[in-house]
A and B are shown apart, each in its own frame.
Chain A
Amino acid sequence: MNETPSSDHELLERIAAGDENAFTTFYRRYQNRIYRFALQMSGRTNTAEEVTQEVFMAIIQQTGRWNPERGGVPAYLYGIARNHVLRCLERDRRYVAIDFGERESESVDEDRSRTIDPLWDLTREERGETVRRAVSTLPPIYREVIVLCELQELSYQEAAAAAGCAVGTIRSRLHRARELLLKKLSREPAARSVLVSSFPGRP
């Protein structure tokens, strides 16, 4: 006999009542998404583990705080994860030099000669590493929107609920984030070397 999977809302109610099975089901439903979000944001497995733990500890201790009017449960979880990740990034920035130099004022749309086509001449691993490097050096607010909307495939509405901002803000940030990413990818040495070998006459 097939059992209907419990809804998130139902699981949260059972968790609040101390039902361990409900917690296990809920955790297994969302653990990977939250872990990958934190990993994509931070690039570090220990931070991803820490954030995953913090998110579900928040569920254990504050199940009553989820408000359905402010978005679904996934957005609520991503929202908690986001706050922890940003805190970790801020903490780690004191010790590790990361390229946070890109500022909103930086021009991103003037260079029309750029191309990221050569990326597809790289091996899958090389391409993955190139994209990882480019994503990890985006400023956090742009990295966040790339991770939420493109890598985690959230809708604008869900991403807005997770980030605690308006849908229009997410939409404009995503547009800008993609531009920054294109710019970084077109500058990548790996992409450039392929570009130069493909078009030897180009500077």
Chain B
Amino acid sequence: MNCAEFEQIVTDLVRGSREESSGRDARVHTRECGRCRSRLAEQQILTKTLIEFAASFETEAPPPKVEEDLLAAFRLTALNTISRSHGTAPPRKRWAIQAIAASALAAIALVVLWIGPEPLGNVPTSGAAEPPRDAAMIADFLPLPYTAPLDPWEQGRVVRVRLPSSMLIHFGLPVSAETSSQLLEANVLLGEDGMARGVALVATNGAGR
């Protein structure tokens, strides 16, 4: 083996991926050639350095949140696959619908929990709430997106809540940056299952606090 041939296989040699015969030839060559002996030693130090470097990653792992998110995605995909086989909406569209509906409902629920509802009584089965007497309705009940209307026989319930005006965006209403932190009062129509079905903004003396 000469120096050029040695150079061709030196990487394989330090990786241990050479056949035994060429490895033996290379060892014989390095005994005779100081330059190639240094070259091999240098490559071996590099390999040792890289092995140590690779070992420094042994404790590196993705955070648990990655697995949680992936499992959530897996469940949705499995659900959509089953639904798709029954001819329902395409998965991407339905994901979006579910996400929007969930965020709107969650937002309403949070507001009710945080600010505290003031029950105003039951409403007729038609699903149209009587407006509170102390307030001038500035809008009829706006149905929340992607929620089913009240059934004709269902008893609805109206609660008064205060909500940041930034919430209006969930109902498809415009929100300006200047007023997004202001509190508005609204009546929320709840179904018998406790889920919000519609919202109506009210104008009171306290509105806009």
Contact = CB atoms under 8 A, between A and B. Distances in A.
Determine which residue in B10, B71, B82 has the highest number of CB atoms from chain A within 10 A of its CB, and name it: B71
Contacts of B61: 31-32, 35
Given A36-B60, A178-B46, A112 B35 contact: yes
Interface in B79-102: 81-82
Contacts of B60: 32, 35-36, 39, 48
A194 interface: no
B11 A57 contact: no
B17 A156 contact: yes
Interface in A22-48: 23-24, 27-28, 31-32, 35-36, 39-40, 48
Given A31-B66, A32-B61, A18 B54 contact: no
Nearest to B60: A36
A190 interface: no
B63 interface: yes
Interface in B25-69: 35, 38, 42-43, 45-47, 49-50, 52-54, 56-57, 60-63, 66-67, 69
B77 interface: yes
A61 B92 CA distance: 12
A120 interface: yes
B207 interface: no
A151 B69 CA distance: 28
Contact of B47 (A61, A150, A185): A150
Size category, B interface:
35 or more
A60 B74 contact: yes
A60 B73 contact: yes
Interface residues of A, number: 48
Nearest to A120: B45
Given A48-B62, A115-B42, A27 B70 contact: yes
Given A36-B60, A150-B54, A153-B54, A119 B49 contact: yes
- For the complex of A and B, list the 4 residue pairs with the smallest distance between their C-beta atoms, beginning with the closest: A18-B78, A151-B54, A35-B62, A131-B53
Interface of A: 18, 20, 23-24, 27-28, 31-32, 35-36, 39-40, 48-49, 52-53, 56-57, 60-61, 112, 114-117, 119-120, 124, 127-128, 131-132, 135, 146, 149-153, 155-156, 171, 174-175, 178, 181-182, 185
18 contacts: A18-B82, A20-B71, A27-B67, A28-B67, A32-B60, A35-B60, A112-B38, A115-B42, A120-B49, A127-B49, A128-B52, A128-B56, A131-B50, A151-B54, A155-B17, A174-B11, A185-B46, A185-B49
Given A32-B60, A52-B66, A182-B42, 11 more contacts: A31-B61, A52-B62, A60-B74, A127-B52, A127-B53, A150-B47, A150-B54, A152-B54, A175-B10, A178-B46, A185-B46
